[in-house]
Amino acid sequence: MKKKILVTGGAGFIGSHLCTRLLNEGNEVICLDNYFTGNKKNIVGLIDNPYFELVRHDVIEPFYAEVDQIYNLACPASPVHYQYNPIKTIKTSVMGAINMLGLAKRVKATILQASTSEVYGDPVEHPQRESYWGNVNPIGLRSCYDEGKRCAETLFMDYHHQNKVDVKIIRIFNTYGPNMNPDDGRVVSNFIVQALRGEDITIFGDGMQTRSFQYVDDLVEGMVRLMNSEKGFTGPVNVGNPNEFTMLELAQNIIELTGSSSKLTFKTLPQDDPKQRQPDISLAKEKLGWQPNIQLREGLAKTIQYFEEALKNNN
């Protein structure tokens, strides 16, 4: 049955893939974006679809529409962007959640919050389960994002308990793929762009800190499954790829796949940079029947192809 679905942050990296998927499934999609980090280029191929509506709007302001489902993705998600204007970042997370929850309450829509593995901070539990409360610095450089997302989760559960809003919370681990911004400062895009340009690849710390990388198509599958999961199941649910890689391994994979002559350079690790990130995805397997299908080298090859085109077009 055709649903009317609102996607905030719909012109962003993940939002654009989600909008495409929802339209392909025969839904009507309203894409909301203020283009702080989103880009019209990401959704230009959808604009002619009669069931796609693009609205320039900032979720800090209320929005009104009759919809069945809301995916709340609006928020800068890379350190470069969220630290550029930290007050704006936390306002987007907190006031954006309040406005979208108010809309969901009014029109009785199911609403999904795109939360993050950053709610776990620099974890002392490894791998991280949803029951882990995290180890977060509330006054650090990353706090505007980490604490903004933690507060949004609180708001979602409060609206669920107090107002019976049907909420879903997904905790997204490192995700990569086409439509990433070449200048977003995330490790995968940084390494690929540096390798393609033949520049030195910049590694912070000794390169032994680990991350788990999931390809964007796997994430979108997890989001759609959670949104349509049984009523009353709120999550939070970890969605990520549990295969763990060091920064050195990631850099070496990218150098091999691009055939680059790039060398590695090492810089000081930024404040509060987590040393380990690995999701426990038992709950996603049990409740959603979800696990990632695309492994790192396959996903990196597709992402490199996208960046080769993007860099060619920018020159």
- Of 145, 159, 176, 215, the catalytic one is 145
Omega before 178 cis (within 30°)? Answer: no
Can you list the pairs that 254-257 forms with residues at least 24 positions away whose Cβ atoms lie under 8 Å? 254/188, 254/191, 254/192, 254/195, 254/201, 254/300, 254/304, 255/195, 255/201, 257/297, 257/300, 257/301, 257/304
Contact call for residues 38 and 14 (beta carbons, < 8 A): no
**Secondary structure letter of residue 268 according to DSSP:** P
Cα–Cα distance, 14 to 12 (Å, whole number): 6
Give the Cβ contact number of residue 64 at 10 Å: 10
Tokens 């406005």 map to which residue? 99
For residue 201, what are the β-bridge partners?
264
Task: Annotate 181-222 with three-state secondary structure.
Answer: CCCCCCHHHHHHHHHHCCCCEEEECCCCCEEECEEHHHHHHH
Nearest-10 Cα torsion for 282, 288, 294, 299:
-100
Contact call for residues 155 and 94 (beta carbons, < 8 A): yes
Q: Any idea what the Cα angle at residue 284 is, between residues 114 and 105, rounded to 5°?
A: 40
Omega before 270 cis (within 30°)? Answer: no
Considering Cα of 7, then 52, then 222, then 68, what sign does the dihedral take? Answer: positive
* Beta-strand runs (E) in 137-176: 167-172, 175-176
Q: Is 145 a catalytic residue?
A: yes
Q: Which residues are the active-site residues? A: 145
